[in-house]
Structure 1
Amino acid sequence: MPVCIIHKTTADSKGSCSKYTFYLNKENQELIAEKKYDRQQFFFDQHQNKLSSTTAMQKIDQNTRGKGLTRKEDKYFTVTLNFSEKELSYLAEKATGRKGIDNVNQMSKKEFEKYNTNIREYARNAMKNYASNFRNNISKNDIVYFGKTEHKRKYKGTEKEVINGKAKSGELKPGLQSHVHIVVSRSHKEKRIRLSPHRSARNTNNHKLRGRNVPNASFDRMQWVIKNEQSFDRQFKYERSLNEKFEVQYALKNGTPEEKIKYKSLIQENNLDKSKELEL
């Protein structure tokens, strides 16, 4: 399942997003040093494919001014859209027509562009789902965000591979590692509504903050993950196995003993049916 991570806010989230924006240029800087200019990735939003760093940054910063947010409140949120190894292999095969792609450098320029286009359009669908997931009839045109696709990941010193001595901190991780970083404004594009993915539908009722006429829209993070999984499958005609489904993985981890037994049994039956199909 595509994993949609809404990161915890930091002190930087209460001001300009400039620091994070320029941080997201790290992969392009490496590509420039390697003279792989045509492999660079641009910032994008719901309608544009090539935003400069300055334009992307200003989209967020300008949208939070005069929107009823105080100095101590978060002005933006950061999100990462991640894919499973199987999903990335599937996307690579759709872009190239070949199996066994485990590095984007194995793709031609045309194949790489198609691969990136598919990921970018999926991110746009995910942000459309993000908007509609708020309980205030919010649409994709009501949110302000920008995204950036990256194709590399590096080991961190805290990861088990580094701790166990199988990798070094800073080394590139093998295989396809494509993912999307997103910065989204807390403010509605026009109206004075706070759009926080940290404000759960379970603990708010779209109430107005005391002393200020600025309502908060509630957000259901679990539903957003489910919608994004459905969007991926629909967009790419992906036949998701039972054990890849979010609801199944969630039940196996957090469900009752009865639910865990039920889903384990269903997965075994599903795998058995597939084995019989292969034999035939």
Structure 2
Amino acid sequence: MYITITAQKVQGNYAQSAADFVDYLEKENEGKPLPELEHFFDQQHDEIAAEEVIREIDDNTAKLKNKEPKFYSITLNPSGRELKAIQDSPEALKRYTREAMKEYAKAFHREIDGRPVAITDIKYYAKVERQRTFKGTDKQVRENQPYATKILELKNDIRSINRGEQIGNTKTLQQKIQRLEAAAPYQLDGKRIVRGMAKPGSQSHIHIIVSRKDASNRYSLSPGSKHKASEVEMHGKMIKRGFDRNAFIKNSEKTFDQLFRYKRNYVESYTARKTFLKDPKLYFSTITKLPANEKAMAFKLLQQSGVNTAVLSIPTNKFQVAIKALNQLKKGVGKAIESGSIGI
């Protein structure tokens, strides 16, 4: 499970309205028949209209300045293995979202009217999305780019010839284009993978719009707080503050496992991701010490995400002599983590 929390910005400035973000999330519904539409939902309601989401988020910004985030975007990104475990069910994803948002509320080190923050204090709207598209940063698009560049140059040459600006054989150039299209290393259904093309397989994920202010529009609840858990004196009172992002992500992961009896492998865990970022050598060493069946699954998951695991066959006490191979493995795992392809 790969979870992100971001403040929404437009050209470097915090978005003053949720309208553009809601419109972006509505694009997947374009052209779909009514029974197939994915609607917004919150903790208690289904089929919430986009207009209501915009109105409720935009009206819940009391005393917030232009330079402060008005709302945050949370994404819950299950891996292919996790989606398979729940049969890619939108209803299961909704159920999970509602439980994960309870963990979001618990992660605030705040009090409202003398009690801890509860899910009823959180104003949020979520939506299940079923598709993803290839981005310019994806490996497939990046490694196809040299072919795309040459194809564009040839197409420009053809247009110049047709306008009489240069001499050449357009048929020959078209044949070159066809050869380049076929030679591009990453293809999908016989076509070169390009930015914007829909990704294959199960791609379901959840987008959540959560207000910066609590449901009463009185208190600021910022998941972007730099403070994990602390107290500060304000107006003569000691006020609790902070948000524990690690606790939110870790407990949301645990919630998924408990809800669906999911047996999470080490390399899929948030703990593994944190270990990799802090101490890659310990990360790899831990994998080699897993029980045989778990280690086999770890290798399989890493290999499926494009990581060369050959170095993991080197005895732990000889890692020092394989530092070059270890660095290559680090690079591969890092890219897999960034893309969420091993579910971290």
Q: Same fold (TM over 0.5)?
A: yes
Question: Residue 140 of structure 1: which of 119, 141, 153 is its match?
Answer: 119
Q: Give me the whole-angstrom Cα distance separating, in 2, the residues matched to 1:175 and 1:120.
A: 20
Q: CA deviation at 1:271?
A: 3.2
Query: Unpaired segments of 5 or more residues in structure 1?
Result: 96-114, 275-280
Q: Give me the whole-angstrom Cα distance separating, in 2, the residues matched to 1:206 and 1:55.
A: 36
Q: Percent identity?
A: 29
- 1:4 and 2:17 are equivalent in the alignment: no
Post-superposition Cα deviations, 1:59-109, rounded to whole Å, max 9, x if no partner, equal 211211x3x2123211111111101110011111xx7xxxxxxxxxxxxxx
Report the counterpart of residue 326 of structure 2 in structure 1: none
Aligned to 2:224, what secondary structure does the other structure show? Answer: strand
AA in 2 matched with 1:196: S
Report the counterpart of residue 172 of structure 1 in structure 2: 198
Aligned to 1:184, what secondary structure does the other structure show? Answer: strand
Report the counterpart of residue 218 of structure 1 in structure 2: 242
Is the 1:148–1:180 Cα contact (8 Å) retained in structure 2? yes
Report the counterpart of residue 40 of structure 1 in structure 2: 37
- 1:86 and 2:84 are equivalent in the alignment: no
Post-superposition Cα deviations, 1:168-217, rounded to whole Å, max 9, x if no partner, equal 11111011000011110001122632211111334x735478x9x9x784
**TM-score, structure 1 as length reference:** 0.78
Report the counterpart of residue 235 of structure 1 in structure 2: 259
Poorly superposed stretches of 4+, deviation over 4 Å: none
Is the 1:14–1:72 Cα contact (8 Å) retained in structure 2? no
Q: CA deviation at 1:14?
A: 4.0
Q: Give me the whole-angstrom Cα distance separating, in 2, the residues matched to 1:273 and 1:163.
A: 31
Report the counterpart of residue 141 of structure 2 in structure 1: 162
Question: Residue 70 of structure 1: which of 65, 85, 96 is its match?
Answer: 65
Root mean square deviation, CA, Å: 2.4
AA in 2 matched with 1:147: A
Q: Give me the whole-angstrom Cα distance separating, in 1, the residues matched to 2:8 and 2:92.
A: 29
Report the counterpart of residue 162 of structure 2 in structure 1: none
AA in 1 matched with 2:210: V
Q: Give me the whole-angstrom Cα distance separating, in 2, the residues matched to 1:47 and 1:221.
A: 24
Query: Unpaired segments of 5 or more residues in structure 2?
Result: 111-115, 145-185, 187-192, 298-344
Q: Give me the whole-angstrom Cα distance separating, in 1, the residues matched to 2:24 and 2:231.
A: 34
Aligned to 1:131, what secondary structure does the other structure show? Answer: helix
Report the counterpart of residue 226 of structure 2 in structure 1: 200
| Number of positions where the alignment pairs a residue of Structure 1 with one of Structure 2 | 241
Question: Residue 288 of structure 2: which of 265, 274, 278 is its match?
Answer: 265
Change (3 A) 1:191 1:19: closer
AA in 2 matched with 1:157: G
Change (3 A) 1:168 1:188: same
Report the counterpart of residue 30 of structure 2 in structure 1: 29
Q: Give me the whole-angstrom Cα distance separating, in 2, the residues matched to 1:122 and 1:54.
A: 25
Q: Give me the whole-angstrom Cα distance separating, in 1, the residues matched to 2:22 and 2:93.
A: 20
Larger Cα Rg: Structure 1 or Structure 2? 2
AA in 1 matched with 2:71: Y
AA in 2 matched with 1:135: H
Stretch deviating more after TM superposition (115-124 or 244-253)? 244-253
AA in 2 matched with 1:187: K
Aligned to 1:199, what secondary structure does the other structure show? Answer: coil
Q: Give me the whole-angstrom Cα distance separating, in 1, the residues matched to 2:46 and 2:100.
A: 16
Report matched runs for 1:105-116 at 5 Å.
115-116=89-90
**TM-score, structure 2 as length reference:** 0.64
Change (3 A) 1:135 1:87: same
AA in 2 matched with 1:178: S
Q: Give me the whole-angstrom Cα distance separating, in 1, the residues matched to 2:289 and 2:34.
A: 48
